[in-house]
Amino acid sequence: MARTRGDGGGEPVAQRGRPAGDRAARRAELLAAATAVIAQEGYASASLRKVAQRAGCTTGTVTYYFANREELVTALAESRFDSYDEMLESVRARGDVKALFERWLSHTTGDPEFWPVMSQLLSHARYEPALAAVIEQRYARYREVHAKILADGQARGAVRDDIPADLLADQLAAMGDGWMMMFPFESERFTPTRVRALVDAVLTLIAPVR
- Global pTM reads 0.79
CATH assignment of 70-206?
1.10.357.10
Closest CA to 18 of 85, 69, 64: 64
Pick the range with the lowest mean pLDDT from 113-127, 148-162, 180-194, 196-210: 180-194
Q: Where in the chain is the domain with CATH 1.10.10.60?
A: 3-67
Eight-state DSSP code of residue 17:
P
Q: Give the CA count within 13 Å in the CB-facing half-sphere of 183.
A: 26
Average pLDDT, the chain: 85
CATH T-level fold of 3-67: Arc Repressor Mutant, subunit A (1.10.10)
Q: Where in the chain is the domain with CATH 1.10.357.10?
A: 70-206
Q: Report how far residue 130's alpha carbon sits from residue 67's, in angstroms, rounded to the nearest whole number.
A: 14
Pick the range with the lowest mean pLDDT from 11-20, 26-35, 86-95: 11-20
Give the contacts of 27 (CB within 8 A, at least 6 positions apart): 65, 66, 75
Q: Report how far residue 147's alpha carbon sits from residue 161's, in angstroms, rounded to the nearest whole number.
A: 12
Q: Report how far residue 101's alpha carbon sits from residue 125's, in angstroms, rounded to the nearest whole number.
A: 26
Confidence of residue 175 (pLDDT cuts 50, 70, 90): confident
